[in-house]
């Protein structure tokens, strides 16, 4: 039986506070990325926004790569949301 990682692993959730610590971002950056749809809230636990951890990791890596290539955030947003 072939192991399919997408179906095998249950989606782990991460809070914005955990994103700040794990990825060395400011809370304002996480909030801004959420507001412009670079990061997507999966659910809320009380007033805490929860994100899919795998998606956050993948998207933050792509954001960093595009920014390092010289793309402004406005175009990064367009590129990531049009894929």
User: Smallest Cα–Cα separation from 10: which of 47, 45, 53?
Assistant: 53
Handedness of CA 65, 66, 69, 72 (dihedral sign): negative
Domain carrying residue 48 = 11-81
The structure's pTM equals 0.81
Domain count, the chain: 1
CA dist list (Å): 43 to 39, 40, 53, 63 = 12, 9, 12, 22
Q: Which two tokens stand for residue 2?
A: 């072939």
Q: Has residue 2 been placed in a domain? A: no
pLDDT at res. 83: 55
| CATH number reported for the structural domain that contains residue 25 in this entry | 1.10.1660.10
pLDDT, averaged per 10 consecutive residues of the chain (83 residues), comes to 44 95 97 95 95 97 96 93 74
Which residue matches tokens 């670079």?
A: 38
């Amino acid at each position: 039986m072939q192991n399919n990682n997408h179906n095998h692993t249950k989606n782990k959730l991460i809070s914005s506070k955990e994103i700040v610590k794990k990825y060395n971002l400011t809370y304002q950056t996480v909030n801004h990325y959420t507001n412009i749809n670079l990061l997507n809230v999966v659910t809320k636990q009380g007033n805490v926004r929860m994100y899919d951890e795998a998606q956050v990791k993948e998207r933050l890596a792509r954001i960093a790569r595009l920014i390092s290539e010289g793309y402004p955030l406005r175009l990064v947003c367009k590129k990531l949301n049009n894929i």
